[in-house]
Structure 1
Amino acid sequence: MFLYAGFLSIDCGYTDSAGYVDKNTTLTYVSDKGYVEGGKNFSILAQYMKDATNKQEETLRSFPDGQRNCYTLPTNRSKKYLIRATFTYGNYDGLNSSESGSPFLFGLHIGINFWTMVNLTKLPSSDTVWKELIMVTPDDSISVCLINNGSGIPFISTLDLRPLQDTMYPFVNVSVAVSYFSRLRFGQVNYVITRYPEDVYDRFWEGAFHTRSYPWIDLSTTQEVKRLPGDEKFMVPNTILQKASTIDSKYSWLNITVRGADNLLGSGDLELLPIFHFAEIASTTRLFDIYSDGEELFTSFSPSPFQVDSMYQNGRFLRRVNSTFTLRKQPTSQLPPPLINAFEVYSLVRIATASDDGMISNILQEHITHSSCMQQVHRICEQNSGLNSDIFVYTLYSRAKWIEPFVNCDLAGKSKEHDDYDIYEEDTPLHTDTRRFTYTELKTITNNFQSIIGKGGFGMVYHGILDNGEEVAVKVLRETSITLSKDFLPEVQILSKVQHKNLVTFLGYCHNKKCLALVYDFMARGNLQEVLRGGQEYSLSWEERLHIALDAAQGLEYLHESCTPPIVHRDVKTANILLDKNLVAMISDFGLSRSYTPAHTHISTVAAGTVGYLDPEYHATFHLTVKADVYSFGIVLLEIITGQPSVLVDSEPVHLPNWVRQKIAEGSIHDAVDSRLRHQYDATSVQSVIDLAMSCVENTSIDRPSMTDIVIKLKECLPAGTGEMQLVSRSYKQKEAMDADIARQFQLPISGVSVESIEGNSSGTTELRYPSGR
């Protein structure tokens, strides 16, 4: 029997020195007294106590004083450990910092090394964020440090130390650590998180709930899944390996997608290492290839029956922020489609050793003067090839007080921000008359990117003010190479050509090798998704909802009917419908848009779009028509009617059209309508819009109406005399959408299935509520 000798479980902010046994895991948690100096103990607010899934979430330690505060944990020198920190804000300070929209993030270091950023910006206060690191400890203790970078007071809820076998994760050594990015288990499982005691090392395995709907098929066995003698690299629990997911035999491949949610420090240099765990648990043979973004990793792989095969490339980290891993049946194979049991992805963390620390100290004393600045730091680093540039700079930041006698410049922990961006301005124009902004101008407009008003797959959106006082939204993607963004140039080209009252007004762009940005009119009401899910303070009336639907339909009609050639948006969703102060709706985000010529409808890439809004015919054929937007708009109409997300998650995911059909079949249309309308609507009007929405989401495009037909129908549904009026809303309090883009739902592209894993940020965060120990 495994004994968890060496487990250290710290409940940060807990004050009773006696400790306690957690009822879910049976692990003993202790107070953090004696492990840290400084900081203040807090409890989360009472209103969040009921949402706490374990006792550890109820308390925390906050560090309002000092730039760097560290926990010191006892370890055995040169042993391998998993270190985990969790963060549950719970609005403990009453400042509502995570939901205010202002940046709320702080650094996390391991010893002198940068580990990751903890980003709580625009997260619900009850959410728990966790970070994990696997490393070899260089000494008989290790420091876990929280770094205040001026964007929020650091705090911590728990800190766990778990010893691993020396044979595990063989790519981890004294100079290479890995940070958790994603860890999934497949098959039928009822737990959001699987951990100790099922995993004796207390790793967190997230349930892949997105595989519960057709065409996904769950497999399971009670037979033991064995490992080869001496194979102790990953020690995946047998109960996890006894379950797997595959797909219906009519499909030939499946995708697993991991992505970074935020463009934080170093995101462009993120390096990922995927690990696939396979065991054939059905009476069959499979043969498939494994790809990473089209690049072949393994060929002609066949899982062994009832024996685990863990596939990875030792020491090979893939440099990217987003990655899609494809398991594809070979074209000539008549065998069943691929399966997968479990999956892990880690990002690289380089570790500076004690000898590096001493060398840095000597170099600093020899070279750096009081008048130095960051450029000199980089130059010194280049002259000493034994040092890694990123480690060197991160070390300087983490040791800020130590280097003050030598360096008299602002390190701020964001070395790449201190490069002179002016030298990276692109020389080649984009051949558009739209205004071009420099990076320096954007810094001025946004007050150094202070106010975050949104975020998405593209990056952050900031509030800004032009010289003339006009409010703007600045959508920014920072990358180390401009080639990493294939959607930026098409969006600029399309936005510079289209003009309509229901398309967001495009004011300009920034074309810099280190910063790509789009500048729009500021939309005071945010996006439709936020408004529909904005709580009980204010609910849109039925008439307001109809006007918003009509506005959006007219914007799409313009793209389809008035542009030459027609433009297909390809990502119509409530999050991409923006609202001005008078609730006038405008279509935004044209990064995926493409011109459509009836004679050339084939696009030879994976169908694009967002989970829940995806046109099944487009995915099945790759033939793009304007009817792909019609399908997505039908989902938008259903969201407007119901107030529900495109995919609902209860015991299992349900697509919104199916939910509406079920509600109506079991009762009446009133059961499908948003309860916040309190029956203050015309039932005939609602029925007409439901019928219209259902016609939009027909499986075949020929059965769907055109956007012109939709506009005509929506105008008919409006009360007489209001067709063109602009409504001024009642008082309104904007809230963050509680729906997180349904990050773990199913997709159905051509001949295969795509799974989007838990959304991590660019430093390997997982942001998810989890019931501990289940």
Structure 2
Amino acid sequence: MEKKNKDVNMKSSYNFFSHFVLFIFFFFPSRSISVTDHNSFTPLVNYLIDCGSPVKTLLNDGRNFKSDRETTSLLSTTEDIVISVDSINITNIFPPSSLPLCQTARVFTEESIYTFYISKIGRIWIRLYFFPFSNPTYNLTNSIFSVHTDHFVLLHEFSPTNNNSVFFKEYLVNVLDARFSLKFKPKKDSLAFINAIEIVSAPDTLISDSATQVFPLGEFKGLMKSALQVSYRINVGGPTITPEVDTLSRTWETDGSYNIFPQGSMSVSVSNKSIKYSQENGVNLTPLIAPNSVYATCVQMKDTEVMQPKFNLSWMVNVEESYSYLIRLHFCDIVSTSLDQLYFNVYINGIEGVEALDLSSQTKALSTAFYMDFVIDSSNITNGSILIQVGPPNLQLSTTNAILNGIEVMKMSNSANSLDGFFSVDGEYIGPNVTSKVMKIIAIVGLALAVIAFLLLAIMYIRWLRRPLDWEESRSLSSWILPLHSRRKKSCNTNLNTSDSPKSKNGGGHFVHYSPRGQEKFFHFSELQRATNNFDDKRVIGEGGFGKVYLGILEDGTNVAIKRGSGGSGQGMNEFITELSMLSKMRHRHLVSLIGYCDENSEMVLIYDYMSNGPFRSHLYGSNFSPLSWQKRLEICIGAARGLHYLHTGASQSIIHRDVKTTNILLDENYVAKVSDFGLSKAIQDKSQVSTAVKGSFGYLDPEYFRSQQLTQKSDIYSFGVVLFEVLCARPVVCPTLPMEQANLADWVLQQYRIGNLHKMIDKNIVDTINHESYKIFSQIGVKCLADHGVDRPSMGDVLWHLEHALQLQIASSHVDIPLIDQSTNEYERNDDNLHGVTSDESANSSSILFSQMVNFQGR
């Protein structure tokens, strides 16, 4: 068929004859294999297009891509811009079969539409290939464009900036009309391009309408309404699977770059011919779900007969936080020798999706394929990742193991029917919370009320500025009626040397009535820029989940610590407000003091007293500081315990810190300990509990809190117990380079304590000076803090009393001849196994079990 370069009639209506031609021309399948054996699929819709190519392109997998130049009725545009390149050199191309499709491209300088005739409505694959090769006329790497279907946004202002990579996008969209359009819309003064397109029907059984909702656990319905984008397709434990051996021309990656605990995993494989497909429980599972090659390989727990199996197999993938995701996990028991041997739990982002999954009850046979679909809501995705884990259940089993054969992760379209941002196909911005006209009306009414309230507050503010000189005597009402961020008119600008500039005794800033208790200062961002030399990296003295901490010097020479929130920290405003509100209400010798804050220009900055000796951890290991004596370590622990005791009991509501660790215990110039970082803190009624998402730092996290998501004061007690042994042993709480049984400090401490060898773990810098009675009291209370159940742990008051007792014994030993620790005996521990909280092996091992559930837990 001969194609004219320009066809002015392309935008005319399609008639029946043109549809018929398209149907005949494109619907001959690239590969035709009988479907009676359920091993392959002949799609009724099968458009394979090599865009801009003058001839057909045959791939190694047998698929035949036709040229879009062979018909004038497929593409609706008055342009005919095609470009090509003689040869390309791409390494690590994905998918591997796409190389021949990358040598030509069709370019659009205006909105253009491909229109396809759909003979069978339902789910279709949309696969798009973009390779921005070099061209002297059209700079493809600078192109910015959007790609829409009739109802869904696939790409919004997409820009393929790397000319050494193929950008492969794969979607599943439910089509309900006989005609389907794919629109390419370049941004103004830019262009769009495409190298190849696949529009292929998918089997009806591939994706059902329902799945298991991860949290709250239940059934999710409505998958058919969502467009899906394939984010990951992983063959766990096996090689790359290319389209020529996949039943639906899919590509499966290896799992090497996603397995975050490879040292605990082992790959297993069997013959593809041994794989069977389940017909149980109303499921007619066929190789169309996944090919034999996926189910014939898996990863299982390594050395389960030798190692203590207290860990999870874990895979992590990066995702966008503002979307929900469909997660399909493939299982096939190719490791057991008989039925009813394999039971394991499945976790998604630390949330238990399945407890004690029994593949035998699902498949009724070994080597039989099975899969499960999960949906995780965007609200349960933090740190831009999804963590998939399988591990042993809390059951007494003769064999302990867990397996996984394959992973598929698919992004679900959002409320704007988009897979890329919140713009609809009409270009209208539809934010996450705008779902109906009713919501828009509510927003307009709310805005009007806000404007009225703002005017009233402005009037009050003006009247406050004009208050009489004796206003301070009658400010009780105004102190709570003023707006949250009220500020004086005059700023602290170094270029203004007038006496009117209100300066604080700490060198700048403006007072703001943040709470009924006194005044917190507001700092202009420009002041903080001057104080930190424009946030020079040389001024960085620390960094955490919220952002970097800088040493700042105020105008009067006062040193301060300035914590600036990072826009990409993933914690942001909630932590900023929490810490500001918490510290504005609390004053204690052993809590870090808040000087002020800044929230100008969307910045989130907190200003504290400068703690010249930095975090406690730096004086224990990993730095060049001189080692602290045992007495000094006890004094610091006591100071931190007093600060935490005040949080738990000294306010109208009990405050749980939720992130107790040695980096959050700061030391001033006199080595006085002050607890810091209240961004995760939670206020509850005294001795009560609250259900909340698990947050904290891996290694310090309370296992009971992790299991139940019920937060209590005892969660801080557990974390402080880990701190105590970090102080005693001077080693990281998690050290992956150590043997597995020693990697987690809390687990290793409990194990060594039970057998009487804990004294052998004492930091060599203090072991010759520590009094054995002081050590004994210290270790006993520390072990009680690590009890698996919160009810078995002491209060912070009890911990404080025992630490003070240990200090008194240590001080007394320096004046009289009291024995030090003898490392040749274990008499100091072997008789203490009846301590409350460690009365059985099961109790002592429980934290190990939770350590397995928290491998690579994403905390602060």
Q: If the length of structure 1 is used for normalisation, what is the TM-score?
A: 0.50
Q: Compare relative contact order (CA 8 Å, sep 6+) and give the higher one, 1 or 2.
A: 1
> Could you say which structure has the larger radius of gyration?
2
